[in-house]
Structure 1
Amino acid sequence: MKNMKPYPTEDELPPITMVNEVDFSAHYSYADYMRFEFEERLEIIKGRIFKMSPTPSRIHQGVLTNIFGPIYSILRGKPCHVYTAPFDVRLAKKTKSDKEIFTVVQPDIVVVCDQDKLDKRGCIGAPDIVVEILSPGNCKKELINKYEVYEEAGVKEYWIVSPVYKTFFRYILDDQGKFQSTKLLTEGEEVTTPILPGFKLILEEVFQD
């Protein structure tokens, strides 16, 4: 039996080149995620694989641009950074080991003020602001699954934007580490946040086509 080849370690496992090779009932880590070599975008939430929505619509991308632009402008020359998807956010719990990270998401927009959380692969740890723009078919994932992991990770503000209903909903993390919701906002109202001093988001401009 000395000549028997040992079973490959996780680091030696081959890449996964087709999405139909993924077992959606299995439990995955970020180390597994790094083996994905196909075009389809997937996220891992608490070890479970979720398909991302198909290519975002023109309206979705327009709303994203209308939010990203004002944030980018206010942050120019400042230590905080803003990124748009695809941008991996790894929400580590115990360690930063790839094998021990079981949530990897790609929010539409993230603001990160702690530069120690940024590396060549994205962000490891909770961003200060996460923005999710709803698309048909992904609302349940954003409203339930991601709410839980963002709260647990300590995301300071979680914004949920609906291009269909032209609404803006904001969760703010309190001193006990729990999200508190603000009122539902829509066209004719403005959004400000202490995370971005001087920032003002005019929702009528966000939802203009």
Structure 2
Amino acid sequence: MGTVQMHPEVITDISQLDPDKKYSYADYLKWQFDEYVELIKGKIFQKMSPAPVREHQQIVMSVSREISLFLKNKSCDVYPAPFDVRLPSSGITKDEKTYTVVQPDISVICDPSKLDDRGCVGAPDLIVEVVSRGTAIRDWNFKYNLYQETGVKEYWIIEPVDRSVTIFILNEENKYVQVAVYAAEATIPVSVLPGFSIKWDDIFMRSKDEV
């Protein structure tokens, strides 16, 4: 077998990246290392280090499973991370002009034209982020502003520590309105999926029993 020639621009270690440089999705495609990273307006954010704890993954799987069951034979799709969501600015979708690519814990996309073999181009209808150690500021600040700015219709922030679900809905002025915080057993409606709701205890009960 012949020797594989590594392209000189391919990055094989995250330490080769300059944290002060502005990167594009075209750059991102050249990165070949184990760490998951996101770009927010060209700035590098490491997705999660160390790996997410078991409770985080249980919550992601529970919510994804409930959504997936509801969406069977429907036009919307649900994707848990890792799944690249590119959020171009000003409608320019060229890789070298796209400076934001994130990997939400859960993405629901109802417009199939936004999907390609590499993920999603444009705002999902629903994004769910499960807060982990080290991601709270990003989820509540950077991503809140980013998802509002790019038109994500519904944004959930799930806090495993206090077992709460905070829901934001984009209003007619394209600003998020906090519509509810669920911190006890309840039925939680999903605005962008009419007729669908998730029970609070389906999200948290398993991890609660194990504490």
**TM-score, structure 2 as length reference:** 0.91
Identity level (%): 40
1:74 alignment partner in structure 2: 70
1:106 and 2:103 aligned: yes
1:90–1:124 CA contact under 8 A, matched in 2: yes
Tell which structure's C-alpha radius of gyration is larger. 1
TM-score normalised to structure 1 length: 0.92
Match of 1:7 in 2: none
Task: Structure 2 unaligned segments of length 5 or more: list them.
Answer: 1-6
Deviating runs (4+, > 4 A) in structure 1? none
CA contact under 8 A between 1:19 and 1:38: conserved in structure 2? yes
Gap change, CA 1:60 and 1:44, over 3 Å in 2? same
Equivalent position of 1:33 in the other structure: 28
CA contact (8 A) 2:10 2:32 kept: yes
Give the equivalent residue in structure 2 for 1:201. Answer: 198
The SS at the match of 2:145 is: helix
Alpha-carbon RMSD: 1.1
Question: Which structure 2 residues correspond to residues 118-197 of structure 1 after superposition, within 5 A?
Answer: 118-197=115-194
- In the alignment of these two chains, the number of paired residues is 198
**Secondary structure at the residue paired with 1:127?**
coil
2-structure distance, mates of 1:190, 1:92? 35
C-alpha spacing 1:31/1:183, structure 2 compared with 1 (3 Å): same
Q: Which residue identity is paired with 1:79?
A: S
Matched to 1:195, the amino acid is V
CA distance in 1, matches of 2:20, 2:159: 30
**Kept in 1: contact 2:155–2:168 (CA 8 A):** yes
The whole-number CA distance in structure 1 between the counterparts of 2:77 and 2:168 is 20
2:55 to 40, 56, 59: 59
Give the unaligned 5+ runs of structure 1. Answer: 1-11
